[in-house]
Structure 1
Amino acid sequence: MSTYQSALRHTIATYPDVAFTIVLGLIVFTIVKYARSPYRQLPPGPPGIPLIGNVFQLMTGNQWDTFTRWGKEYGDVISVSVVGQCLVILNSAEAAHELMNKRAANSSDRPRSIVAAEYLTGGLFFVFTPYNNLLRRFRKASHEGLNKTVTESYRPSQHTEAIIMAAGVLEAPERLTEHFKRNSASAVMSMIYDHPPLTSGTSEAVRNVGELMIRLTRSAMPGAHLVEIFPWLRYVPASLAKWKRDALYWFQHDTEMLEGLFLEVRKRVDDGDTRPSLAATLIKEGKNLGLSDRENAWAAGTIYTAGTETTAGVMNWFVLAMLAFPEHQRRAQEELDRVVGRTRLPAFSDIDQLPYIHALIRETMRWRPVDPLGMVHVTVADDWYEGMYIPKGTIYVPNVWKFNHDEATYGPDADDFNPARWIGKDGEFLPGPELAKEDGHFGYGYGRRVCVGKYVAQQALFINIATLLWAVTIDRVKDDNGQPKPVDIDGCINEGLVVGPMPYELLAVARFADAYTLLKAERDAV
């Protein structure tokens, strides 16, 4: 026995009261420390497994459905753990507004993504960029080219793309998704780079966007790379780490692609070209904000890739709604016949006279959001909300699906597709709920991360849907018994950046004799 152990035993034997007091004090200290720990006041949530937390519960089914179900048991603010990382699920628009809008200074960061954010995109894809000075300059420059007033200058090209899309749907309805992807990519390329219309949904530009988004979404998925769990692996040389070699290669490849598109615009601007484009605005504003050509190229590329996928996704859900609920298609077409007639195509000059078209757009985005869980935010400091502790580094997950289907906000038919909810008794287009502001839904993000391209997206959806419904009757394919085949309005495919509907068939026929003739004449004149 050591001298220390002998002395300790002697002390305990000689002064038992002192020893008891010390032990009791340690027990009391431990209990008090535990009782006062703010971690005991985390938001409630489902029990997890030691060390790994709630990982397995998050791997089954659609997470937005899981979170909505948990909300009925644990409330509007729920905490879960994923291998020690605290996630707070926000199941009410009120909580999201308070924590992500009002307290945006504390909740505008992003989770770290070593592969997707730091290596694949060099920290320049501003959807993933931490909330720092570079992001603020990115957003300020982008806002100058995408604000509500400036976006009107992009309407002529959006109108052209809508005509090409509608004609394509009549000619080959079986390639519907391809038409929508071509339309979105071409419209965004025109807006950003003043690029002429793309001729195909399988063109190189569309393919490049799709491949870039696949790489990013796959790399950002939890568990995709061990380096996200063990960050020290980023110091392993590229020669020994395939993930690093691949990421560095694709960053160089995508940078060359995006810089090539951007520098074409710079050359035209230097030659005196004054045609409007986002890239031209970035050239001007980027100089004032100290952004390099590479940073500007990636700022433009971020909007290019994100805008292409989301608009095409909304259009796919819209057509599914028209197949499932044809009465709303007929009502919109009656409005188009009354306002536009059948001797000309819809135009942006009709935008204030077509409230039901606006109602269709808003209801589609509310009913089936392409991003049901929004974009996550991260807190930069400890916070408290209604007596619940939210530690620094918490990931906020806004359950946009739940917000958009809340009966307290949208009524007892919140789960139904009902554009008429947005039409007043005198036929006017009604404002949205207070917290949803002018959008009427919660799909455009929060705080200092609100979608910078939402105004141009709204314009594109308006002219696309107005033109498509003016020219085309969308109907279900019949089965062998002559009955309309059912469509799946509840199933979905998670494509990474967006959630889309299950594949469906459709019939697309011209609504009247001259519809295709007028479309084709306008398309041929481009």
Structure 2
Amino acid sequence: MGQHIVVLNTQKAAADLLDRRAAIYSDRPRNIVAGEILCGSLAIPLQTCGPLWGRMRKAIHEGLNKSYEVPQLNEAILLTSGLLAQPARWDQHIRRTTASLAMAITYDTPPILSEQDPGVKAIDGFITHMTRATHPGAHLVELFSWMIHIPSRFAKWKRDAEYWHENYSAIFVDRFNDVRKKPLKGIESPSLVGTWIKDADRYGLSELEGAWLAGMAYTGGSDTSAASMAWWMLAMVTYPDVQRRAQAELDAVVGRTRIPTFSDFQRLPYIRAMVKEMLRWRPMARLGFPHCSTEDDWYDGMFIPKGTMVIANVWHLNRDPTIYGADAAHFNPARFLDANGELAPCPPETKEEGHVTYGFGRRVCPGRHVANNSFFIEMAMVLWACNIEPGKDEHGNVIPIDVDKYVDGIHIRPAPFKANISPRFPEAVALLAGERELRVR
């Protein structure tokens, strides 16, 4: 009520304010139920700026500034094997993969082999509660902040949020302490929690703060990646020419006698462009996460008072026809390639990502480089081994898919659809099985 809101509809304006003036545009609007009660002001994506946010930001950026190629490759093998074994369950395989990888990176755990694993269920439960708590209009206290002083016994919304805070705090602390009990490993097997425990004095985080930071890395990394990979599957079904071009590149570079690995990265520009295009075409959060100004400011003749909510219209910024061309609504990785088929320079305000999906300034996604590598190896592995086609009904007719239909939440996902997945060549299944036996423990 009485909230000033500015929506940024050009990449230049977004970069001018949120990147170049990050010192005064990096705060978050207050979120009482989700941010302060359910998460106890410990969830870094929702935290307002302050000393704790600064310490958490330092810890997460430094922890993710490492290579996690071993678990990423292992999970790509498991994902592709699962898709070929049970193609009808492709979405569950993606969810298992992203949860398992997030667990490995955060807690140095072995692969999760089922989406029924308690870790996967914990992610689903937390995301469900966060989605409900952050839904616009869900709680009057977000409009009338004085309601936070109502005793819990008279406010079910408050009582429920407090209960789930205690529940998830216990889960996150237990997982954090599971790592503490292990002999700490060296850089050969890195994990976020292992790094934070080893350098606890450097980061100045309490056990509860570290546990919640790990929980946010775990749940956020899994949910965003699962949503993105589901959109990618939809693109493969909908744009078969794109799939065939990627497979031709894989055949030329990798061949059919070995699996793709990270050593192929530089020689697979089309796959790398596909990662950029997936994130541009279907950003997980269409309006990103709102920023909040901490000082009065002027921009382009407009006065922006302190406390203004500043929203980057990510969906529009990623589809600006003056930047991406008249076909910006379509999935076309070639837009990121030059005449020689190599990656071209990205639009100047996108930090060499090619899109603005990862956010801006001091709130930019700290795991973007890790995510890009995960997407690269998963896409390469799946397309090397699999053909992905539209699902068919009992009469053999292709089932139409509405590419614009989605399931809402913190991160949007495509509406459920069917896909047929089959081996591209007879040796694919055996090669994957051999690699799984050799690499995955």
- TM norm structure 2: 0.96
1:159 aligns with 2:73: yes
Q: Secondary structure at the match of 1:104?
A: coil
Residue type at the aligned position of 1:491: K
Query: Which deviates more, 224-233 or 327-336?
Result: 224-233
Cα deviations by residue, 1:87-114 (Å, 9 ceiling, x for unpaired): 1111111111111111111111111111
Distance in 2 (alpha carbons) for counterparts of 1:258 and 1:489: 36
1:486 deviation in Å?
A: 2.3
The equivalent of 1:503 in structure 2 is 416
Q: Secondary structure at the match of 1:384?
A: strand
Structure with max Cα Rg:
1
Whether the 8 Å contact between 1:178 and 1:202 is mirrored in structure 2 is no
Distance 1:170 1:105, change over 3 A: same
1:323 deviation in Å?
A: 0.8
1:483 deviation in Å?
A: 4.3
Number of residue pairs matched by the alignment: 437
The equivalent of 1:514 in structure 2 is 427
Query: Which deviates more, 383-392 or 271-280?
Result: 271-280
The equivalent of 2:97 in structure 1 is 183
Residue type at the aligned position of 2:382: L
Distance 1:518 1:223, change over 3 A: same
Cα deviations by residue, 1:462-484 (Å, 9 ceiling, x for unpaired): 11100000110001123566443
1:452 aligns with 2:370: no
Query: What are the residue-to-residue correspondences of 1:190-339 with 2, within 5 Å?
Result: 190-268=104-182, 271-274=183-186, 275-339=189-253
Cα deviations by residue, 1:245-299 (Å, 9 ceiling, x for unpaired): 211111111111111111111222xx45333111111123432132111111111
Cα deviations by residue, 1:441-498 (Å, 9 ceiling, x for unpaired): 010111110100101101110111000001100011235664433221122221x221
Cα deviations by residue, 1:307-350 (Å, 9 ceiling, x for unpaired): 10111111111111111110110111111111111111111111
The equivalent of 2:19 in structure 1 is 101
Q: 1:141 aligns with which of 45, 59, 69?
A: 59
Whether the 8 Å contact between 2:292 and 2:310 is mirrored in structure 1 is yes
Cα deviations by residue, 1:349-388 (Å, 9 ceiling, x for unpaired): 1111111101111111111111111111011121111111
Query: What are the residue-to-residue correspondences of 1:68-87 with 2, within 5 Å?
Result: 83-87=1-5
Distance in 2 (alpha carbons) for counterparts of 1:172 and 1:480: 18
Q: 1:367 aligns with which of 274, 278, 281?
A: 281
Q: Secondary structure at the match of 2:350?
A: helix
Q: 2:47 aligns with which of 129, 132, 155?
A: 129
Distance in 1 (alpha carbons) for counterparts of 2:62 and 2:142: 35
1:115 aligns with 2:42: no
Distance in 1 (alpha carbons) for counterparts of 2:404 and 2:135: 24
Q: Secondary structure at the match of 2:310?
A: strand
1:172 deviation in Å?
A: 1.2
Distance in 2 (alpha carbons) for counterparts of 1:506 and 1:290: 48
Distance in 2 (alpha carbons) for counterparts of 1:122 and 1:520: 45
Q: Secondary structure at the match of 1:105?
A: coil
Query: Which deviates more, 484-493 or 333-342?
Result: 484-493
Which sections of structure 1, spanning at least 5 residues, go unmatched? 1-82
1:145 deviation in Å?
A: 1.1
The equivalent of 1:493 in structure 2 is 407
Whether the 8 Å contact between 2:184 and 2:194 is mirrored in structure 1 is no
Distance in 2 (alpha carbons) for counterparts of 1:354 and 1:157: 20
Query: What are the residue-to-residue correspondences of 1:6-45 with 2, within 5 Å?
Result: none
1:166 deviation in Å?
A: 0.7
Greater RCO between the two (CA within 8 Å, min separation 6)? 2
- TM norm structure 1: 0.81
The equivalent of 1:46 in structure 2 is none
Residue type at the aligned position of 1:132: G
Distance in 2 (alpha carbons) for counterparts of 1:364 and 1:252: 37
1:431 deviation in Å?
A: 2.2
The equivalent of 1:342 in structure 2 is 256
The structure 1 segments of at least 4 consecutive aligned residues displaced by more than 3 Å after TM superposition are 478-483
Distance in 2 (alpha carbons) for counterparts of 1:300 and 1:227: 28
Distance in 1 (alpha carbons) for counterparts of 2:166 and 2:391: 46
Distance in 2 (alpha carbons) for counterparts of 1:222 and 1:515: 47
Q: Secondary structure at the match of 1:524?
A: helix
1:168 aligns with 2:82: yes
1:437 deviation in Å?
A: 2.3
Greater helix fraction, Structure 1 or Structure 2: 1
Distance in 2 (alpha carbons) for counterparts of 1:223 and 1:426: 51
Residue type at the aligned position of 1:111: P
Distance 1:199 1:482, change over 3 A: closer
Q: Secondary structure at the match of 1:436?
A: coil
Distance in 2 (alpha carbons) for counterparts of 1:230 and 1:205: 36
Percent identity, aligned pairs only, is: 46
Distance in 2 (alpha carbons) for counterparts of 1:272 and 1:120: 31
Distance in 1 (alpha carbons) for counterparts of 2:269 and 2:211: 37
Distance in 1 (alpha carbons) for counterparts of 2:335 and 2:199: 41
CA RMSD of aligned residues (A): 1.4
Distance in 2 (alpha carbons) for counterparts of 1:119 and 1:323: 42
